[in-house]
Amino acid sequence: MAGLRVERSGGVVTATMDRPEKRNALDGPLFAALAELFTEAAGDDDTRVVVLTGAGGAFSSGGDLTPDEPSGDDVVTTMRRFGRTAQALHDLPKPVIAAVDGVAVGAGMSLALGCDLVVASDRARFALMFVRNGLGLDLGGSWLLPRRVGSLKANELALLGDWVDAREAERIGLVNRVVPADALHGATMEWAERLAASSPLALRTIKASLLRAADLTMADAIEAEARAQAECSASPEMRAALEARRR
């Protein structure tokens, strides 16, 4: 896949954005490769968890801006195409972990926001640079960011475009965990392997219930949980888990 290196091991698919000479800036072929990967992973029973990271000490420096950017209706068409990558990530029913080293800027930060868990190195830095480039948000950032950090902090990050270091990102809820740079891979894989060993049905059910919870009433959430729990309770996976606990 163009600009994307994919490795598979024991149910864990690691997708490495691999344009280190541009700090893994996202161009059309890389957007397409990511969308294809997320779509394939959704239907692949052997894939239990996806890890998304970047090569060369950076996660992603954002969109690969060029002097010949499209304009007018072409922009709408292009952004809809790129947005399909963010939608494919959002729709992926399996856990996705972002392993962020170095910069996660603009669309790169939006990609990290779209993941279910984020592990960052202590040298990671985040920024929504759109405003500094005279641009609006993209890749679902306007939907994702307030859900992570609340509306006031989202306003601050988006309207000012300031840098956030790893520890501040952890404090405000942009990332789950900060580790030394040389421990990033190990810490990420520890979580990935734990997820890969868990019930796929349970993980899919939990992820779906958390994603839709903000749009439901409490009563509707309880009803959705009841139906999901019935599906899980009838599964061979639950019976196997109970048998393992009895041993």
Indicate if 112 and 227 belong to the same structural domain: no
**Angle at 241 (CA atoms; ends 230, 223), nearest 5 degrees:** 20
In tens, the pLDDT along 229-245 reads 888 887 776 666 656 56
Tokens for 89, please give them: 């990530």
Indicate if 114 and 160 belong to the same structural domain: yes
Edge-to-edge strands of the sheet including 164-165? 103-105, 125-127, 164-165
Counting the structural domains of the chain, the total is: 2
Indicate if 118 and 225 belong to the same structural domain: no
Residue 241: give the domain boundaries: 200-246
Indicate if 143 and 211 belong to the same structural domain: no
**Angle at 111 (CA atoms; ends 14, 119), nearest 5 degrees:** 60
Nearby residues of 74 by Cβ (< 8 Å), 6 or more positions away: none
HSE-CB for 158 with a 13 A CA cutoff:
21
Tokens for 236, please give them: 């061979």
Statement: the pTM of the whole predicted model exceeds 0.85: yes
Last residue of a domain, one of 196, 211, 237: 196
Indicate if 239 and 139 belong to the same structural domain: no
Three-state DSSP at 241 gives helix
212 pLDDT exceeds 90?
Answer: no
Nearby residues of 186 by Cβ (< 8 Å), 6 or more positions away: none
Indicate if 50 and 134 belong to the same structural domain: yes
**CATH number (domain holding residue 160):** 3.90.226.10
In tens, the pLDDT along 123-162 reads 999 999 999 989 999 999 999 999 999 999 999 999 999 9
Indicate if 78 and 133 belong to the same structural domain: yes
Contact indicator for 56, 101 with CB cutoff of 8 Å: no
